[in-house]
Amino acid sequence: MLLFVYGSLKEGFPNFHANRGRRLPGRYRTAVPYPFYLAGGTLPCLLPQPGRGLHVVGQVFEVDDRQLAVMDALERVGEPGGYARARIEVLPIDDSGAPLAPAQPAFVYMQEDARLDAGRAHFGPIAEYTLEHARSLNW
């Protein structure tokens, strides 16, 4: 199965140690736009609102159930304040962001809209989580 990662689970990012999947070459983006924010100014949050926001850029990994379970635990899937795992469509892109092949299904971690409530600062929407964003978390 495939997993689309857009934040700290990407290769070269702070939580990559938990990602034991095999990376597919190249860059990928969501087939439809999604709202992608940094909650509290730093925590990557993809919201389950297809058709709103921007096409989000990330990496795709081939994972098995055991590898997925490790990342589910890190992302606190099923816990209050944790992420939910959902299925979306992603496609490979060239350097300009143009699609190279048809969309394919992949799992992704998403946050509920409440994570961006009016009482918390947030930044975005953004299309891509960078190392500069990650460094601001002081991992």
Domain total in the chain:
1
Under the banding of pLDDT at 50, 70 and 90, the label for residue 139 is very low
> C-alpha dihedral over 111, 107, 89, 2, to 10 degrees?
150
pTM of the model: 0.93
Amino acid at position 79, single letter: E
**Domain that residue 52 falls in:** 2-135
Contact 53, 36 (CB under 8 A): yes
pLDDT over threshold 70, residue 2 = yes
Q: pLDDT of 41-74, one tens digit each?
A: 678 999 999 999 999 999 999 999 999 999 999 9
Sign, CA dihedral 125-130-131-134, equals: positive
Contact 111, 45 (CB under 8 A): yes
More confident residue, 113 or 120: 113
Which DSSP letter does residue 81 get?
T
User: What CATH number does the domain containing 113 carry?
Assistant: 3.10.490.10
Active site residues: 75
Which tokens belong to 91?
């496609």
